[in-house]
Protein backbone atom coordinates (compact mmCIF):
# COMPACT_ATOMS: atom_id res chain seq x y z
CA UNK A 1 0.00 0.00 0.00
CA UNK A 2 1.29 3.44 -0.87
CA UNK A 3 1.64 5.86 2.05
CA UNK A 4 -0.93 8.19 0.46
CA UNK A 5 -3.47 5.35 0.40
CA UNK A 6 -3.17 4.53 4.12
CA UNK A 7 -6.47 5.28 5.95
CA UNK A 8 -4.73 7.21 8.73
CA UNK A 9 -2.89 9.40 6.22
CA UNK A 10 -6.09 10.11 4.31
CA UNK A 11 -8.01 11.04 7.48
CA UNK A 12 -5.27 13.39 8.67
CA UNK A 13 -5.02 15.10 5.31
CA UNK A 14 -8.76 15.42 5.10
CA UNK A 15 -9.01 16.98 8.54
CA UNK A 16 -8.15 20.56 9.39
CA UNK A 17 -4.37 20.83 9.74
CA UNK A 18 -3.50 20.93 13.48
CA UNK A 19 -0.66 23.31 12.70
CA UNK A 20 -3.18 26.04 11.94
CA UNK A 21 -4.36 25.92 15.55
CA UNK A 22 -0.84 26.47 16.82
CA UNK A 23 -0.34 29.64 14.82
CA UNK A 24 -2.41 31.71 17.25
CA UNK A 25 -0.18 33.48 19.74
CA UNK A 26 -0.80 32.53 23.35
CA UNK A 27 -1.07 35.18 26.02
CA UNK A 28 0.34 34.88 29.49
CA UNK A 29 -3.15 35.32 30.92
CA UNK A 30 -4.44 32.33 28.92
CA UNK A 31 -1.57 30.12 30.01
CA UNK A 32 -1.96 31.15 33.63
CA UNK A 33 -5.74 30.63 33.70
CA UNK A 34 -5.49 27.19 32.12
CA UNK A 35 -2.77 26.02 34.50
CA UNK A 36 -4.77 27.28 37.49
CA UNK A 37 -7.74 25.29 36.20
CA UNK A 38 -5.46 22.23 36.00
CA UNK A 39 -4.63 22.51 39.71
CA UNK A 40 -1.82 25.01 40.20
CA UNK A 41 -2.18 27.64 42.94
CA UNK A 42 -0.05 30.35 41.33
CA UNK A 43 1.67 30.72 37.96
CA UNK A 44 4.30 33.04 36.46
CA UNK A 45 6.04 33.02 33.08
CA UNK A 46 9.34 34.22 31.69
CA UNK A 47 11.23 33.98 28.44
CA UNK A 48 13.84 31.26 28.08
CA UNK A 49 16.21 34.08 27.08
CA UNK A 50 15.69 35.95 30.35
CA UNK A 51 19.17 36.78 31.75
CA UNK A 52 17.99 35.77 35.23
CA UNK A 53 17.92 32.10 34.19
CA UNK A 54 21.00 32.11 31.98
CA UNK A 55 22.57 29.54 34.30
CA UNK A 56 19.63 27.18 33.74
CA UNK A 57 19.46 27.50 29.96
CA UNK A 58 21.67 24.51 29.16
CA UNK A 59 19.54 22.10 31.20
CA UNK A 60 16.34 23.59 29.73
CA UNK A 61 17.73 23.04 26.22
CA UNK A 62 18.66 19.49 27.13
CA UNK A 63 15.09 18.74 28.18
CA UNK A 64 13.31 20.61 25.37
CA UNK A 65 15.53 22.40 22.82
CA UNK A 66 12.52 24.12 21.23
CA UNK A 67 11.47 25.84 24.45
CA UNK A 68 10.83 29.58 24.14
CA UNK A 69 8.80 30.19 27.30
CA UNK A 70 9.30 28.86 30.82
CA UNK A 71 6.24 28.46 33.03
CA UNK A 72 6.87 28.31 36.78
CA UNK A 73 4.08 27.37 39.18
CA UNK A 74 3.40 26.35 42.75
CA UNK A 75 1.01 24.03 44.54
CA UNK A 76 0.22 24.61 48.19
CA UNK A 77 0.87 22.11 50.94
CA UNK A 78 -1.54 21.88 53.84
CA UNK A 79 0.26 23.55 56.72
CA UNK A 80 -0.77 21.54 59.76
CA UNK A 81 0.33 18.13 58.43
CA UNK A 82 3.74 19.56 57.50
CA UNK A 83 4.05 20.93 61.04
CA UNK A 84 3.38 17.54 62.62
CA UNK A 85 6.17 15.99 64.67
CA UNK A 86 5.04 12.60 63.33
CA UNK A 87 7.18 12.27 60.23
CA UNK A 88 4.85 9.89 58.37
CA UNK A 89 2.13 12.55 58.38
CA UNK A 90 4.45 15.33 57.26
CA UNK A 91 6.01 13.19 54.53
CA UNK A 92 2.62 12.08 53.26
CA UNK A 93 1.72 15.73 52.73
CA UNK A 94 4.94 16.28 50.79
CA UNK A 95 4.32 13.24 48.60
CA UNK A 96 0.68 14.09 47.92
CA UNK A 97 1.61 17.64 46.93
CA UNK A 98 4.37 16.37 44.66
CA UNK A 99 1.68 14.29 42.96
CA UNK A 100 -0.54 17.37 42.67
CA UNK A 101 2.30 19.30 41.02
CA UNK A 102 2.84 16.51 38.51
CA UNK A 103 -0.86 16.07 37.82
CA UNK A 104 -1.39 19.80 37.26
CA UNK A 105 1.56 19.98 34.87
CA UNK A 106 0.58 16.80 33.02
CA UNK A 107 -3.03 17.94 32.55
CA UNK A 108 -1.85 21.32 31.32
CA UNK A 109 0.52 19.75 28.81
CA UNK A 110 -2.34 17.56 27.53
CA UNK A 111 -4.55 20.64 27.08
CA UNK A 112 -1.74 22.37 25.18
CA UNK A 113 -1.23 19.30 23.03
CA UNK A 114 -4.93 19.13 22.17
CA UNK A 115 -4.78 22.79 21.13
CA UNK A 116 -1.79 22.14 18.90
CA UNK A 117 0.87 23.64 21.18
CA UNK A 118 3.98 21.69 22.18
CA UNK A 119 4.90 21.63 25.86
CA UNK A 120 6.96 19.49 28.24
CA UNK A 121 6.25 18.80 31.91
CA UNK A 122 9.70 19.19 33.49
CA UNK A 123 8.55 18.63 37.09
CA UNK A 124 9.95 15.13 37.72
CA UNK A 125 10.61 15.51 41.44
CA UNK A 126 10.94 11.71 41.50
CA UNK A 127 12.19 9.75 39.69
CA UNK A 128 15.35 11.59 38.67
CA UNK A 129 18.23 11.03 36.26
CA UNK A 130 20.01 8.55 38.49
CA UNK A 131 22.69 7.77 35.93
CA UNK A 132 24.11 11.12 37.03
CA UNK A 133 24.02 10.28 40.75
CA UNK A 134 25.61 11.50 42.92
CA UNK A 135 26.00 14.49 40.64
CA UNK A 136 23.16 16.78 39.65
CA UNK A 137 20.40 14.31 38.92
CA UNK A 138 17.38 16.60 38.58
CA UNK A 139 16.39 17.67 35.08
CA UNK A 140 15.48 21.31 35.76
CA UNK A 141 16.28 23.54 38.75
CA UNK A 142 12.89 24.80 39.93
CA UNK A 143 14.06 27.18 42.68
CA UNK A 144 16.10 29.68 40.62
CA UNK A 145 13.43 29.59 37.91
CA UNK A 146 10.64 30.35 40.40
CA UNK A 147 12.63 33.23 41.89
CA UNK A 148 13.42 34.64 38.44
CA UNK A 149 9.74 34.37 37.47
CA UNK A 150 8.68 36.40 40.53
CA UNK A 151 6.89 33.61 42.39
CA UNK A 152 8.95 34.07 45.55
CA UNK A 153 12.35 34.68 47.10
CA UNK A 154 14.86 32.42 48.77
CA UNK A 155 14.60 32.49 52.54
CA UNK A 156 17.29 32.05 55.17
CA UNK A 157 16.44 28.33 55.05
CA UNK A 158 17.28 28.16 51.30
CA UNK A 159 13.69 27.39 50.30
CA UNK A 160 11.51 29.56 48.08
CA UNK A 161 8.99 31.62 50.08
CA UNK A 162 5.83 32.59 48.21
CA UNK A 163 4.48 36.02 49.25
CA UNK A 164 1.03 34.58 50.01
CA UNK A 165 1.50 30.88 50.75
CA UNK A 166 4.88 31.20 52.44
CA UNK A 167 7.18 28.19 52.58
CA UNK A 168 4.33 25.72 52.26
CA UNK A 169 4.64 25.26 48.51
CA UNK A 170 6.20 22.82 46.08
CA UNK A 171 7.45 24.00 42.72
CA UNK A 172 6.98 22.91 39.13
CA UNK A 173 8.26 23.98 35.73
CA UNK A 174 6.73 23.58 32.26
CA UNK A 175 8.50 24.39 29.01
CA UNK A 176 6.52 25.78 26.06
CA UNK A 177 7.56 25.89 22.43
CA UNK A 178 5.51 29.06 21.92
CA UNK A 179 6.93 32.49 22.49
CA UNK A 180 4.21 33.86 24.75
CA UNK A 181 3.34 37.53 24.99
CA UNK A 182 4.01 38.29 28.64
CA UNK A 183 4.81 40.96 31.16
CA UNK A 184 7.29 39.56 33.63
CA UNK A 185 6.18 39.51 37.25
CA UNK A 186 8.43 41.35 39.67
CA UNK A 187 8.52 40.65 43.40
CA UNK A 188 10.32 43.66 44.85
CA UNK A 189 10.70 42.37 48.42
CA UNK A 190 11.67 39.15 50.17
CA UNK A 191 8.82 37.56 52.17
CA UNK A 192 11.40 36.06 54.54
CA UNK A 193 11.09 37.71 57.97
CA UNK A 194 14.62 36.67 59.02
CA UNK A 195 13.07 35.54 62.30
CA UNK A 196 15.58 32.66 62.41
CA UNK A 197 13.00 30.13 63.66
CA UNK A 198 14.36 27.81 60.99
CA UNK A 199 17.77 28.15 62.66
CA UNK A 200 16.26 27.27 66.04
CA UNK A 201 14.41 24.21 64.74
CA UNK A 202 17.06 22.65 62.49
CA UNK A 203 18.32 19.54 64.32
CA UNK A 204 21.76 19.66 62.69
CA UNK A 205 22.30 23.44 62.65
CA UNK A 206 22.49 23.38 58.86
CA UNK A 207 21.29 26.99 58.90
CA UNK A 208 23.67 29.27 60.76
CA UNK A 209 22.66 32.28 62.83
CA UNK A 210 24.79 34.33 60.46
CA UNK A 211 22.77 33.11 57.47
CA UNK A 212 25.36 30.52 56.40
CA UNK A 213 24.26 27.12 55.16
CA UNK A 214 25.90 23.80 55.99
CA UNK A 215 24.84 21.75 53.01
CA UNK A 216 26.69 18.67 54.25
CA UNK A 217 24.73 18.57 57.50
CA UNK A 218 21.37 18.92 55.75
CA UNK A 219 22.22 16.32 53.13
CA UNK A 220 23.51 13.79 55.65
CA UNK A 221 20.51 13.87 58.00
CA UNK A 222 17.43 15.10 56.15
CA UNK A 223 18.11 12.92 53.10
CA UNK A 224 19.22 9.86 55.04
CA UNK A 225 16.55 7.66 53.41
CA UNK A 226 17.47 8.86 49.92
CA UNK A 227 20.29 7.53 47.77
CA UNK A 228 23.15 8.84 49.89
CA UNK A 229 21.93 7.07 53.00
CA UNK A 230 20.90 4.05 50.97
CA UNK A 231 24.46 3.69 49.71
CA UNK A 232 25.80 3.83 53.26
CA UNK A 233 23.21 1.24 54.35
CA UNK A 234 24.06 -1.16 51.51
CA UNK A 235 27.79 -0.94 52.18
CA UNK A 236 27.16 -1.50 55.88
CA UNK A 237 25.36 -4.70 54.92
CA UNK A 238 28.30 -5.70 52.74
CA UNK A 239 30.74 -5.03 55.59
CA UNK A 240 28.72 -7.03 58.14
CA UNK A 241 30.02 -10.50 58.98
CA UNK A 242 26.68 -11.89 60.14
CA UNK A 243 23.09 -10.95 60.93
CA UNK A 244 24.10 -10.25 64.52
CA UNK A 245 26.96 -8.05 63.33
CA UNK A 246 24.57 -6.17 61.04
CA UNK A 247 22.09 -5.63 63.89
CA UNK A 248 24.85 -4.25 66.07
CA UNK A 249 25.51 -1.65 63.38
CA UNK A 250 21.95 -0.93 62.22
CA UNK A 251 18.99 -1.01 64.64
CA UNK A 252 15.83 -2.72 63.46
CA UNK A 253 14.01 0.62 63.37
CA UNK A 254 16.49 1.94 60.81
CA UNK A 255 16.10 -1.17 58.67
CA UNK A 256 12.33 -0.71 58.80
CA UNK A 257 12.66 2.95 57.80
CA UNK A 258 14.81 2.07 54.81
CA UNK A 259 12.31 -0.62 53.80
CA UNK A 260 9.52 1.94 54.00
CA UNK A 261 11.37 4.40 51.78
CA UNK A 262 12.14 1.67 49.26
CA UNK A 263 8.61 0.29 49.17
CA UNK A 264 6.69 3.56 49.42
CA UNK A 265 8.58 6.80 48.81
CA UNK A 266 11.73 8.36 50.29
CA UNK A 267 10.98 10.22 53.50
CA UNK A 268 12.56 13.42 54.75
CA UNK A 269 13.96 13.17 58.26
CA UNK A 270 13.33 16.83 59.06
CA UNK A 271 12.16 19.69 56.79
CA UNK A 272 11.59 21.43 60.13
CA UNK A 273 12.79 24.68 58.56
CA UNK A 274 9.66 24.76 56.39
CA UNK A 275 7.25 23.68 59.11
CA UNK A 276 8.19 26.50 61.53
CA UNK A 277 8.40 29.27 58.93
CA UNK A 278 5.80 32.00 59.66
CA UNK A 279 6.35 33.95 56.42
CA UNK A 280 3.61 34.53 53.86
CA UNK A 281 0.39 36.51 54.11
CA UNK A 282 -1.76 33.40 54.64
CA UNK A 283 0.57 32.10 57.35
CA UNK A 284 1.72 35.16 59.25
CA UNK A 285 -1.17 36.11 61.58
CA UNK A 286 -0.55 33.62 64.44
CA UNK A 287 3.09 34.67 64.61
CA UNK A 288 2.18 38.36 64.77
CA UNK A 289 -0.51 37.79 67.40
CA UNK A 290 1.70 35.92 69.87
CA UNK A 291 5.28 35.07 68.94
CA UNK A 292 5.98 33.21 72.17
CA UNK A 293 2.91 31.04 71.71
CA UNK A 294 3.89 30.37 68.09
CA UNK A 295 7.32 29.16 69.19
CA UNK A 296 5.85 27.05 71.98
CA UNK A 297 3.33 25.41 69.64
CA UNK A 298 5.39 24.84 66.48
CA UNK A 299 9.11 25.10 67.29
CA UNK A 300 9.58 23.57 70.73
CA UNK A 301 7.92 20.19 69.92
CA UNK A 302 10.44 19.70 67.10
CA UNK A 303 13.33 20.70 69.34
CA UNK A 304 12.17 18.27 72.04
CA UNK A 305 11.38 15.40 69.67
CA UNK A 306 13.20 12.16 70.45
CA UNK A 307 14.87 10.97 67.25
CA UNK A 308 18.12 9.78 65.73
CA UNK A 309 20.22 12.46 64.06
CA UNK A 310 22.67 11.34 61.35
CA UNK A 311 25.97 13.22 61.22
CA UNK A 312 29.49 12.87 59.87
CA UNK A 313 32.36 12.35 62.27
CA UNK A 314 34.17 15.61 62.88
CA UNK A 315 31.22 17.72 61.72
CA UNK A 316 29.66 20.72 63.42
CA UNK A 317 26.47 18.72 63.84
CA UNK A 318 28.24 16.02 65.81
CA UNK A 319 29.62 18.66 68.15
CA UNK A 320 26.38 20.51 68.86
CA UNK A 321 23.41 18.12 68.57
CA UNK A 322 23.68 16.55 72.03
CA UNK A 323 24.31 19.91 73.70
CA UNK A 324 21.56 21.75 71.86
CA UNK A 325 18.99 18.93 71.74
CA UNK A 326 19.45 16.54 74.71
CA UNK A 327 16.50 14.36 73.62
CA UNK A 328 18.11 13.52 70.29
CA UNK A 329 20.53 10.65 69.70
CA UNK A 330 23.54 11.12 67.42
CA UNK A 331 24.64 8.45 64.96
CA UNK A 332 27.77 8.98 62.86
CA UNK A 333 27.90 7.84 59.25
CA UNK A 334 30.96 7.60 57.05
CA UNK A 335 29.67 7.32 53.49
CA UNK A 336 30.11 10.40 51.31
CA UNK A 337 29.68 11.29 47.64
CA UNK A 338 32.78 13.03 46.35
CA UNK A 339 34.21 13.10 42.88
CA UNK A 340 37.98 13.25 42.66
CA UNK A 341 38.18 15.51 39.60
CA UNK A 342 39.54 18.98 40.30
CA UNK A 343 36.43 21.01 39.52
CA UNK A 344 34.19 18.90 41.75
CA UNK A 345 36.69 18.81 44.62
CA UNK A 346 37.09 22.60 44.57
CA UNK A 347 33.32 23.20 44.38
CA UNK A 348 32.64 20.74 47.20
CA UNK A 349 34.92 22.74 49.52
CA UNK A 350 32.09 25.23 49.92
CA UNK A 351 29.43 22.56 50.38
CA UNK A 352 31.28 20.60 53.06
CA UNK A 353 32.69 23.51 55.08
CA UNK A 354 32.03 23.27 58.83
CA UNK A 355 32.02 26.77 60.29
CA UNK A 356 32.43 25.77 63.94
CA UNK A 357 35.50 23.68 63.14
CA UNK A 358 37.12 26.74 61.54
CA UNK A 359 37.07 28.84 64.71
CA UNK A 360 40.32 30.78 65.05
CA UNK A 361 41.46 30.12 61.48
CA UNK A 362 42.10 33.23 59.35
CA UNK A 363 43.87 32.34 56.12
CA UNK A 364 43.64 32.40 52.34
CA UNK A 365 44.69 29.57 50.05
CA UNK A 366 45.48 29.24 46.37
CA UNK A 367 44.35 25.70 45.59
CA UNK A 368 45.73 24.01 42.47
CA UNK A 369 43.99 20.69 41.81
CA UNK A 370 45.89 18.65 39.24
CA UNK A 371 44.85 15.63 37.20
CA UNK A 372 41.36 15.10 35.77
CA UNK A 373 39.65 18.45 35.09
CA UNK A 374 42.50 20.40 36.66
CA UNK A 375 41.51 23.74 38.12
CA UNK A 376 42.87 26.52 40.33
CA UNK A 377 40.85 28.52 42.82
CA UNK A 378 41.01 30.74 45.87
CA UNK A 379 39.67 29.72 49.27
CA UNK A 380 39.55 32.20 52.14
CA UNK A 381 38.50 31.37 55.70
CA UNK A 382 37.53 34.49 57.65
CA UNK A 383 35.43 34.83 60.81
CA UNK A 384 34.11 31.25 60.58
CA UNK A 385 32.97 31.69 56.99
CA UNK A 386 34.31 30.48 53.66
CA UNK A 387 34.73 32.37 50.42
CA UNK A 388 35.48 30.35 47.29
CA UNK A 389 36.36 31.64 43.84
CA UNK A 390 37.27 29.78 40.68
CA UNK A 391 40.49 31.52 39.70
CA UNK A 392 43.36 32.99 41.68
CA UNK A 393 42.76 36.19 43.63
CA UNK A 394 45.05 38.20 45.88
CA UNK A 395 48.18 37.09 47.67
CA UNK A 396 47.56 33.83 49.57
CA UNK A 397 48.92 32.77 52.92
CA UNK A 398 49.41 29.27 51.52
CA UNK A 399 49.70 27.81 48.03
CA UNK A 400 48.64 24.17 47.66
CA UNK A 401 49.20 21.84 44.71
CA UNK A 402 47.60 18.41 44.93
CA UNK A 403 45.61 15.93 42.86
CA UNK A 404 41.91 15.50 43.53
CA UNK A 405 42.23 11.89 44.73
CA UNK A 406 45.00 12.77 47.20
CA UNK A 407 42.97 15.66 48.59
CA UNK A 408 39.98 13.37 49.12
CA UNK A 409 42.29 10.90 50.90
CA UNK A 410 43.47 13.74 53.15
CA UNK A 411 39.84 14.55 53.99
CA UNK A 412 39.37 10.86 54.76
CA UNK A 413 42.40 11.04 57.10
CA UNK A 414 44.11 8.18 55.30
CA UNK A 415 47.37 10.03 55.86
CA UNK A 416 48.52 13.37 57.25
CA UNK A 417 49.64 16.51 55.48
CA UNK A 418 53.22 15.84 56.57
CA UNK A 419 53.09 12.29 55.18
CA UNK A 420 51.65 13.50 51.86
CA UNK A 421 54.40 16.12 51.56
CA UNK A 422 57.09 13.54 52.39
CA UNK A 423 55.73 11.19 49.72
CA UNK A 424 55.71 13.97 47.11
CA UNK A 425 51.92 13.85 46.74
CA UNK A 426 51.32 17.31 48.16
CA UNK A 427 53.21 20.53 47.53
CA UNK A 428 52.79 23.40 49.97
CA UNK A 429 54.25 26.90 49.80
CA UNK A 430 53.70 28.40 53.23
CA UNK A 431 52.91 26.92 56.61
CA UNK A 432 51.76 23.26 56.27
CA UNK A 433 49.92 23.61 59.59
CA UNK A 434 47.46 25.94 57.85
CA UNK A 435 46.66 23.13 55.40
CA UNK A 436 46.04 20.77 58.32
CA UNK A 437 43.75 23.38 59.86
CA UNK A 438 41.87 23.67 56.57
CA UNK A 439 41.34 19.90 56.40
CA UNK A 440 39.91 19.98 59.93
CA UNK A 441 37.23 22.39 58.64
CA UNK A 442 35.62 19.39 56.94
CA UNK A 443 34.03 16.20 58.25
CA UNK A 444 36.11 13.08 58.43
CA UNK A 445 34.96 11.05 55.47
CA UNK A 446 35.14 7.26 55.62
CA UNK A 447 33.92 5.41 52.57
CA UNK A 448 33.91 7.75 49.59
CA UNK A 449 32.00 6.99 46.40
CA UNK A 450 32.99 8.69 43.18
CA UNK A 451 30.60 11.35 41.93
CA UNK A 452 30.11 15.05 42.50
CA UNK A 453 27.66 16.37 45.05
CA UNK A 454 26.90 19.10 42.55
CA UNK A 455 28.46 20.97 39.70
CA UNK A 456 28.89 24.73 39.47
CA UNK A 457 26.72 26.48 36.91
CATH number for the domain that contains residue 385: 3.30.1050.10
Q: What is the DSSP letter of 414?
A: S
Q: What are phi and psi of 126, to 5 degrees?
A: -145, 140
Does the residue 170 lie in any domain?
yes
Mean pLDDT, all residues of the chain: 91
At 452 the pLDDT is 37
Q: How far is CA 222 from CA 5, 54, 124, 203, 269, in A?
A: 60, 30, 20, 9, 4
Does the residue 316 lie in any domain?
yes
Where does the pLDDT of residue 298 fall: very low under 50, low under 70, confident under 90, or very high at 90 and above?
Answer: very high
Average pLDDT estimate for 337-346: 84
Alpha carbons 34 and 113: distance in angstroms, whole number = 13
Same domain assignment for residues 162 and 38: yes
Say if residue 398's pLDDT is above 70. Answer: yes
For 80-114, what is the HEC assignment?
HHHHCCCHHHHHHHHHHHHHHHHHHHHHHHHHHHH
Q: Where are the alpha helices (DSSP H) in 66-196?
A: 79-83, 87-114, 142-149
Same domain assignment for residues 71 and 104: yes
The CATH code of the domain that includes 36 is: 3.40.109
Domain span including residue 276: 197-336
Same domain assignment for residues 68 and 129: yes
Same domain assignment for residues 135 and 252: no
Does the residue 55 lie in any domain?
yes
At 235 the pLDDT is 87
CB 82 within 8 A of CB 90: yes
Where does the pLDDT of residue 10 fall: very low under 50, low under 70, confident under 90, or very high at 90 and above?
Answer: confident
CA gyration radius for the chain? 25
CB 221 within 8 A of CB 269: yes
Does the residue 455 lie in any domain?
no
Alpha carbons 91 and 377: distance in angstroms, whole number = 40
Say if residue 129's pLDDT is above 80. Answer: no
Where does the pLDDT of residue 125 fall: very low under 50, low under 70, confident under 90, or very high at 90 and above?
Answer: low
Does the residue 186 lie in any domain?
no
Where does the pLDDT of residue 453 fall: very low under 50, low under 70, confident under 90, or very high at 90 and above?
Answer: very low
Domain count, the chain: 3
Alpha carbons 455 and 457: distance in angstroms, whole number = 6
Same domain assignment for residues 159 and 245: no
Does the residue 88 lie in any domain?
yes
At 228 the pLDDT is 75
Same domain assignment for residues 201 and 114: no
pTM of the complete model: 0.89
Same domain assignment for residues 297 and 400: no
DSSP 314-370: TSHHHHHHHHH-TT-EEEEE--EE---SHHHHHHHHHHS--TGGGTT--EEEEEEEE
Q: Is pLDDT larger for residue 456 or for residue 380?
A: 380
3-7, 283-287, 333-337, 372-376: least confidently modelled range: 333-337
Where does the pLDDT of residue 104 fall: very low under 50, low under 70, confident under 90, or very high at 90 and above?
Answer: very high
Average pLDDT estimate for 345-351: 91
Q: Indicate the burial class of 212 (C-beta count within 10 angstroms; 0-12, 13-18, 19 or more).
A: middle
Q: Which residues contact 310 (CB under 8 A, 6 or more apart)?
A: 220, 221, 224, 229, 269, 331, 332, 333
- Which of 242, 220, 241 has the alpha carbon at shortest distance from 231? 220
Average pLDDT estimate for 348-359: 92
Q: Residues 166-208: pLDDT tens digits?
A: 999 999 999 999 999 888 899 999 999 999 999 999 999 999 8
Alpha carbons 218 and 222: distance in angstroms, whole number = 6
Which domain-ending residue is among 336, 360, 375?
A: 336
Does the residue 191 lie in any domain?
no
Which domain-ending residue is among 281, 304, 336?
A: 336
Please give the span between the terminal C-alpha atoms of the chain, in angstroms, as a whole number.
Answer: 53
At 456 the pLDDT is 36
- Which of 309, 394, 298, 411 has the alpha carbon at shortest distance from 352? 411
Same domain assignment for residues 134 and 226: no
Alpha carbons 58 and 48: distance in angstroms, whole number = 10
Same domain assignment for residues 323 and 351: no
At 446 the pLDDT is 66
Query: 119: which strand partners?
Result: 176
Q: Which residues contact 325 (CB under 8 A, 6 or more apart)?
A: 203, 303, 304, 309
Q: 3-state DSSP: the chain helix, strand, coil percent, rounded to 5?
A: 45, 20, 40
Query: Residue 249: enclosing H or E segment and its boundaries?
Result: helix 243-249
221: number of Cβ within 10 Å: 26
Query: Residue 28: enclosing H or E segment and its boundaries?
Result: helix 28-37
Chain centroid offset of residue 258 CA? 21
- Which of 168, 35, 177, 47 has the alpha carbon at shortest distance from 106? 35
Does the residue 351 lie in any domain?
yes
At 16 the pLDDT is 59
Which domain-ending residue is among 336, 360, 382?
A: 336
Where does the pLDDT of residue 18 fall: very low under 50, low under 70, confident under 90, or very high at 90 and above?
Answer: low
Q: Residues 203-259: pLDDT tens digits?
A: 999 998 888 899 989 989 998 988 778 888 888 999 999 999 999 999 999 999 999
* Helix 404-411, helix 342-351: angle, nearest 10: 30
Average pLDDT estimate for 90-98: 95
At 49 the pLDDT is 95
Same domain assignment for residues 238 and 126: no
Average pLDDT estimate for 390-418: 94
CB 273 within 8 A of CB 201: yes
Same domain assignment for residues 316 and 361: no
Q: Is pLDDT larger for residue 106 or for residue 266?
A: 106
At 455 the pLDDT is 37
Same domain assignment for residues 275 and 398: no
At 266 the pLDDT is 85
At 11 the pLDDT is 87
Amino acid sequence: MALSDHPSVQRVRAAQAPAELAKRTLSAAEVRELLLECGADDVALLSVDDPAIAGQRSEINRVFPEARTVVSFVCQMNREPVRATVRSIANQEFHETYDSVNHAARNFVREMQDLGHRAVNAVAAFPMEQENFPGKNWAVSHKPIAVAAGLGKMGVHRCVIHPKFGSFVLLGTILLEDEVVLEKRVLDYNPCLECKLCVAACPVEAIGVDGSFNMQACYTHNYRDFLGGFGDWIETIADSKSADDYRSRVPVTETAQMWQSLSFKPSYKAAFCISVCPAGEDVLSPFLEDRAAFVERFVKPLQDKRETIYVHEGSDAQAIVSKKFPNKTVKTVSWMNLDTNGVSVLFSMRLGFQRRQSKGLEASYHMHFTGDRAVSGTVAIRKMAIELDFGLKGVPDVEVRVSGPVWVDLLSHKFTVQEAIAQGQLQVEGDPELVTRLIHCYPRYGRVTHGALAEPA
